[in-house]
Amino acid sequence: MSKEFNLSVDKRDLTNKGGRRRNLREGKKIPGIYYSHDSKDSIPFYIDKKEIVKAQKADSQIFNITVGSKKRNVLFKSVQYHPVTDEIMHIDLYGIKMDQVVSVNIPLNIIGTAQGVVEGGVMVQSLNELEVECLPMDIPSVIDIDVSQLQIGDSLKVEDVKTEDKVAIKSSADQIIVSVTQAMKEEVQEVQSDEMPSEEGGTDTSAEDSKQDDESSNTEDSEG
């Protein structure tokens, strides 16, 4: 069951472009947009970077914010990161109602070591999260995936994942989450000891040719 977490945000004035650039330059505040669940209205805001750190450490999917004069329940809809520094550049929050089902992506938590890996195989993880639908208070923090029984050649699909009755998985059932494959063996080409490579990559036959020339010369001398 998800917990609620209070998040402090400040309404942002879109006309104050100088303030926005200053906040981005100083890196203390992160811009964001709040989207309402029941309308097309959106509210721009700033959030202190320290608040983001607190939110990331909290075991929560649901956040309480106050934008303007109204308290709202929200989920993180999307987070934009800088491609080089990996710093958060922008956040979108989505308003929710606690009695209405929501669709969210939940991270997967791999448990155990696959038996096939112990025997020399390689595990490949194809999915890192699953889309689920449930009431906000029933949102799981993670979905555990036990891979300990997987042998070489085995795979685990979305349809194999079991969740509580309150949580419905919406990701495609035939998608592979993890698989265990045979490790690739490196082929080593051996060069036979009786073949000496020439400068052009072939076998050195100059000594043999010289011997044949000498035998031919001796035969001609004896016939003369």
Q: Which domain holds residue 53?
A: 3-96
Total residue count of the chain as it appears in this document: 224
Task: Check whether residue 44 and residue 120 sit in a common domain.
Answer: no
Indicate the number of domains in the chain. 2
The string of pLDDT tens digits covering residues 136-178 is 989 998 999 999 999 999 999 999 999 999 999 999 999 999 9
Does any domain span residue 71? yes
Q: How much of the chain, in percent, has pLDDT values that exceed 90?
A: 35
pLDDT band at 51 (very low <50, low <70, confident <90, very high): confident
CATH number where 109 lies = 2.170.120.20
Mean pLDDT score of the chain, rounded to an integer? Answer: 80
Residues 83 and 12 grouped into a single domain: yes
Q: Are residues 117 and 78 in the same domain?
A: no
Q: Which CATH number belongs to the domain containing residue 80 in this structure?
A: 2.40.240.10
User: Which of 52, 71, 96 delimits the end of a domain?
Assistant: 96
In which band, very low, low, confident or very high, does the pLDDT at 204 lie, cut at 50, 70 and 90? Answer: low
pLDDT for the residue 145: 96
Is 23 part of any domain?
A: yes
Helix or strand holding residue 223 (H, E): helix 206-223
Query: What is each CA distance from 171 to 60, 120, 163, 197, in whole angstroms?
Result: 22, 31, 13, 58
Q: How far is CA 116 from CA 126, 155, 161, in A?
A: 17, 11, 20
**Cα 125 from Cα 147, distance rounded (Å):** 11
Whether 195 is in a domain gets the answer no
Given a cut of 80, whether residue 212 has pLDDT beyond it is: no
Q: Within this chain, do residues 10 and 90 fall inside the same structural domain, yes or no?
A: yes
Of 16-30, 152-166, 205-219, which gets the smallest average pLDDT?
205-219
